[in-house]
Amino acid sequence: MDKLVEREAAARNPLVAAPALAVQFFLTPLAVVAITVGVYVGFRSLVANDSRSAHEYLAEVRNGGSDRRWPAAYELSRLMSDPKVRADHTLAPALVKAFEAAKDDDSRVKQYLALAIGRLDPPLPSEAVEGLTNTLDAADGETRISVIWALGSSGDAAVVPRLLPLYGSEDQGIERCDRARAEGPS
């Protein structure tokens, strides 16, 4: 029982306890956050360090292997969100040629090329409108939806008569596009 005697509280100097608290509650979490951010930035720079131009992606779509064409078309459609790329007038004819050459290709290539054409600054070249209009009867639903979106975003009133019959379509994807278009942006 003698050992169970309460110890007297040692008088702690607050100046000695402050650095330990600072390390425990501030510096350690700060170091963890800094390391996490460093790892994220490092991996992000490895993944996103693709600085190819639109013409290089287009060359990859035309000349790449079957497993490289659709990712290049996807990256090209993403790159078209840049106003500088959209304003490049030499890109439109090359996009149209690639789209027409991809008629027997993977449907994803046609889908992403249609999205890229739809993002061109209006008015779309007449060859682009004609090529997209000819693809409206495609068997692949995703490609048809991309073509409809591209034609709708072209701003060309001449495509309206060709798009109107699609409003009564029984294709669920087209029906969802119609509903989303009617509801407007959210």
What is the CATH number for 163? 1.25.10.10
The Cα–Cα gap between 170 and 174 comes to 8
pLDDT digits (tens, 9 = 90+) for 30-61: 899 999 999 998 888 777 656 788 888 888 88
Extract the tokens encoding 80.
């078209």
Q: What is the structure's pLDDT at 123?
A: 76
Q: What is the structure's pLDDT at 35?
A: 96
- Cβ neighbours around 4 below 10 Å, total: 5
Q: What is the structure's pLDDT at 13?
A: 63
Question: Does 165 lie in the same domain as 121?
Answer: yes
The Cα–Cα gap between 134 and 83 comes to 27
Element (H, E) at 161: helix 160-163
Q: How far is CA 28 from the centre of its chain?
A: 37
Question: Does 142 lie in the same domain as 85?
Answer: yes
pLDDT digits (tens, 9 = 90+) for 93-136: 888 888 888 877 778 888 899 888 888 887 777 888 888 888 87
The Cα–Cα gap between 159 and 132 comes to 10
pLDDT digits (tens, 9 = 90+) for 61-81: 888 887 888 888 899 888 888
The Cα–Cα gap between 151 and 31 comes to 52
Q: What is the structure's pLDDT at 36?
A: 96
pLDDT class of 186 with cuts at 50, 70, 90: very low
| Residue in the structure block whose two tokens are 């702690």 | 12
Write out the residue range of the structural domain in which residue 146 sits: 54-183
Domain total in the chain:
2
Question: Does 59 lie in the same domain as 107?
Answer: yes
List b or e across 135-144, with b for residues whose CB sees 16 or more CB atoms inside 10 angstroms. bbebeeeebb
Question: Does 84 lie in the same domain as 161?
Answer: yes
The Cα–Cα gap between 65 and 67 comes to 5
For residue 123, cis peptide bond before it (omega within 30 degrees of 0): yes
Q: What is the mean pLDDT of residues 138-145?
A: 77
| Residue in the structure block whose two tokens are 């840049």 | 82
**In terms of pLDDT, which residue wins out, 102 or 173?**
102
Question: Does 102 lie in the same domain as 161?
Answer: yes
Q: What is the structure's pLDDT at 139?
A: 66
Fill in the DSSP letter of residue 89.
T
Task: Check if the beta carbon of residue 177 is closer than 8 Å to that of residue 145.
Answer: yes
Question: Does 122 lie in the same domain as 35?
Answer: no
Question: Does 117 lie in the same domain as 38?
Answer: no
The Cα–Cα gap between 107 and 119 comes to 19
* Per-residue pLDDT at 86 exceeds 60: yes
pLDDT class of 146 with cuts at 50, 70, 90: confident
